[in-house]
């Protein structure tokens, strides 16, 4: 990636950090002056704001994100995280072909580098690839500082672009949906938009197929963005069930994925994920 772009991005990210720390400085000053209640109030509000913006996946305190399809879209979009997987990806691709669905595969850079042929196959079958970080540090991604975040996101972008140079990722999705105030600065610098979801069944942590599919079914409607995963014990079964559900509901896309989002069309939703 361009060194100038990186330097400008990191300056902007650290500027955000300075601004975020100002309330903490104010709390210290207030406490030093003996205004303990005011200091506690300032600290609590600042801490709560940062915490909410970080742990709630679809919270937009730190920047815009896409959580549903643009207005007027009558279909649902299937998105698949955590691939490619040597067994699951081929099976899921066949399932999607059988049901006439196109999807966005959010790929982990290290896994993509290990299975480049699968990445090319995803694209060859008319699907889109998205940036899901280089190593998928799900439990600590929210706590990474700007340089670490830059490495994770830019490395994945570079990995996927090197494999499919004619189809570089347009979208980013943070691991587990958790992010922090620096992520929007970095994704914007890399030309990425954050694509979240409006329907998920928690198949990344649950294995009850009926529970997973029923939860997605309850939120499946025109304009929905559906999230499922590869690399789980029930990945193929979930893909089959959800693909059939979308097709039966006549919510399969009839347009190329490249036409689903255009320009700066985004729908911002401030509440937490279902």
Domain ranges, ordered by start, for the chain: 1-255+269-273
Contacts of 28 (CB under 8 A, 6+ apart): 39
Q: Is the pLDDT of residue 83 over 90?
A: yes
- Rounded Cα–Cα distance for residues 202 and 208 (Å): 10
Looking at residue 1, its pLDDT comes to 59
Q: Is the pLDDT of residue 273 over 90?
A: no
User: Which helix (DSSP H) or strand (DSSP E) does residue 14 occupy?
Assistant: helix 3-32
- Rounded Cα–Cα distance for residues 239 and 64 (Å): 28
User: What mean pLDDT comes out for the span 107-122?
Assistant: 98
- Rounded Cα–Cα distance for residues 181 and 20 (Å): 9
Q: Which residues pair with 195 in a beta bridge?
A: 66
CATH topology of domain 1-255+269-273: TIM Barrel (3.20.20)
User: What mean pLDDT comes out for the span 1-18?
Assistant: 90
Contacts of 36 (CB under 8 A, 6+ apart): 30
- Rounded Cα–Cα distance for residues 181 and 89 (Å): 33
Closest of 53, 54, 79, 59 to residue 199, by C-alpha: 79
Q: Is the pLDDT of residue 274 over 70?
A: no
Contacts of 253 (CB under 8 A, 6+ apart): 75, 76, 77, 101, 102, 260
Q: With bands split at pLDDT 50, 70 and 90, how would you rate the model's confidence at 271?
A: very low
pLDDT in tens, 56-79: 888 888 999 999 998 888 899 999
Looking at residue 257, its pLDDT comes to 74
pLDDT in tens, 140-195: 999 999 999 999 999 999 999 999 999 999 999 999 998 999 999 999 999 999 99
User: What mean pLDDT comes out for the span 106-117?
Assistant: 98
Q: Is the pLDDT of residue 264 over 60?
A: no
Burial environment of residue 213 by CB neighbours within 10 A (0 to 12, 13 to 18, 19 or more): buried
Q: Is the pLDDT of residue 269 over 90?
A: no
Percent of the chain whose pLDDT exceeds 70: 94
The set of catalytic residues is 81, 229
């Amino acid at each position: 990636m361009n060194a100038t772009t990186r330097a400008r991005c990191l300056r902007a990210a650290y500027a955000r950090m300075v601004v975020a720390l100002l309330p903490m400085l104010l709390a210290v000053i207030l406490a030093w002056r003996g205004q303990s209640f005011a200091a506690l109030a300032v600290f609590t509000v600042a801490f709560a704001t940062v915490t909410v913006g970080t742990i709630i996946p679809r919270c937009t305190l730190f920047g815009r994100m896409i959580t549903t399809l643009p207005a007027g879209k009558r279909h649902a979009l299937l998105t698949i995280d955590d691939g490619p997987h040597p067994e699951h990806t081929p099976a899921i691709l066949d399932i999607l072909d059988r049901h006439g669905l196109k999807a966005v595969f959010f790929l982990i850079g290290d896994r993509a580098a290990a299975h480049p042929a699968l990445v090319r196959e995803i694209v060859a079958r008319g699907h889109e690839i998205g940036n899901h970080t280089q190593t998928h540090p799900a439990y600590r991604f929210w706590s990474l500082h700007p340089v670490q975040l830059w490495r994770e996101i830019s490395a994945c972008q570079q990995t996927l672009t090197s494999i499919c140079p004619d189809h570089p990722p347009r979208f980013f999705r943070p691991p587990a949906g958790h992010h922090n105030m620096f992520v929007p600065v970095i994704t914007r610098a890399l030309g990425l938009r954050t694509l979240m979801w409006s329907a998920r069944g928690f198949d990344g942590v649950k294995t009850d197929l009926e529970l997973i599919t029923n939860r997605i079914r309850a939120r499946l409607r025109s304009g929905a963005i559906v999230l499922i995963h590869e690399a789980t014990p029930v990945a193929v079964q979930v893909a089959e069930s959800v693909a059939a559900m979308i097709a039966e509901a006549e919510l399969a896309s009839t347009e190329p994925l490249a036409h689903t989002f255009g320009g700066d069309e985004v729908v911002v939703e401030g509440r937490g994920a279902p």
